[in-house]
């Protein structure tokens, strides 16, 4: 078969052109698809549009209980390492003083953080609160991902990669978070006061809330 025979009819020429187009487009398609999966480029109709954005959260928790007398202090440490994005770091101190008969003389908790061992430009915080049970005591919280709430929302007029770029912890928040907790014990002013109430149990809970971003096209509701 010579070259003349290959291209002697319009149909054969057409088939040859189609084959060449296929050979060029096929590898190009497979080079492009992984970029779509990675969210580096936006695919097809889903370029800029409406997206449902959600956060699948997994907490890393460290819990400890300390019984402390009046004026006692306790240093607590939380070592954080995670491959996932971190939404926020939280320190929660809970206590419930039910030692005194009747109302009043409620113990309290106070604390100050030391964030110098954590990667990032975090500011130290302090807090205090009464030991009145439930979610009393105090809570300190730092956003590692800016403006993190973990609430689902609908994004409009953005590409998937723009949304992913917005929700990122930039590798911050790893390292050692620390705080010093101080007990304030209140007891009735009598010789028996310190027998009635001389200490309190403080529950210390550190949480690093990690998340995975879930992005899917919003379902268009036709009116």
CB of 138 to Ca ion, least distance (A): 17
Q: Environment class of residue 211 by beta-carbon count within 10 Å: exposed (0-12), middle (13-18) or buried (19+)? A: buried
Positions 72 through 101 that interact with Ca ion (CB under 5 A): 97, 99-100
Asked if 184 interacts with Ca ion (CB under 5 A), we say no
Where does this chain touch Ca ion (CB under 5 A) — which range of 83-91, 112-120, 155-163, 193-201? 193-201
Q: Which of 90, 94, 107, 169 binds Ca ion (CB under 5 A)?
A: 107
Where does this chain touch Ca ion (CB under 5 A) — which range of 15-23, 116-124, 144-152, 196-204? 196-204
In the complex with Ca ion, which residue's Cβ is closer, 46 or 193? Answer: 193
Q: Which of 72, 105, 139, 215 binds Ca ion (CB under 5 A)?
A: 105
Residue 196 parent element (H or E): helix 193-196
Question: What is the rounded CA–CA span in Å between residue 169 and residue 145?
Answer: 4
Q: Environment class of residue 213 by beta-carbon count within 10 Å: exposed (0-12), middle (13-18) or buried (19+)? A: middle
Q: Which of 76, 87, 200, 204 binds Ca ion (CB under 5 A)?
A: 200
Where does this chain touch Ca ion (CB under 5 A) — which range of 27-35, 161-169, 198-206, 207-215? 198-206
Question: What is the rounded CA–CA span in Å between residue 31 and residue 193?
Answer: 77
Work out the number of other CB atoms within 10 angstroms of the CB of residue 139. Answer: 15
The residues with which 55 forms a beta bridge, in sequence order, are 213
CB of 135 to Ca ion, least distance (A): 18
Contact 25, 193 (CB under 8 A): no
Question: What is the rounded CA–CA span in Å between residue 132 and residue 138?
Answer: 11
In the complex with Ca ion, which residue's Cβ is closer, 90 or 200? Answer: 200
Q: What angle do CA 204, 209, 215 make, to 5 degrees?
A: 165
Where does this chain touch Ca ion (CB under 5 A) — which range of 38-46, 161-169, 176-184, 189-197? 189-197
Say how many residues touch Ca ion, by CB under 5 A: 8
In the complex with Ca ion, which residue's Cβ is closer, 169 or 200? Answer: 200
Give the footprint of Ca ion on this chain (CB under 5 A). 97, 99-100, 105, 107, 186, 197, 200
């Amino acid at each position: 078969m010579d070259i003349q025979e290959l291209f002697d009819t319009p149909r054969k020429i057409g088939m040859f052109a189609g084959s060449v187009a296929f050979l060029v487009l096929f590898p190009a398609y497979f080079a492009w698809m992984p970029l779509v999966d990675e969210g580096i480029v936006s695919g097809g109709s889903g370029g800029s549009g409406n997206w449902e954005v959600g956060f699948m959260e997994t907490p890393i928790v460290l819990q400890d209980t300390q019984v402390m007398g009046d004026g006692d202090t306790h240093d607590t440490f939380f070592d954080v390492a995670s491959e996932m994005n971190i939404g926020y770091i939280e320190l929660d101190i809970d206590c419930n003083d039910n030692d005194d008969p009747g109302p009043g003389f409620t113990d309290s908790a106070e604390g100050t953080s030391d964030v110098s061992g954590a990667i990032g430009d975090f500011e130290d915080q302090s807090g205090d609160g009464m030991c009145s049970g439930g979610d009393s005591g105090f809570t300190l919280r730092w956003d590692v991902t800016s403006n993190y709430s973990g609430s689902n929302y609908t994004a409009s007029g953005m590409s998937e990669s723009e949304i992913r770029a917005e929700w990122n912890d930039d590798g911050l928040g790893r390292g050692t978070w620390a705080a010093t907790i101080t007990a304030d014990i209140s007891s009735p002013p009598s010789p028996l006061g310190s027998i009635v109430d001389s200490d309190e149990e403080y529950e210390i809970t550190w949480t690093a809330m990690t998340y995975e971003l879930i992005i899917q096209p919003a379902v268009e509701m036709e009116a």
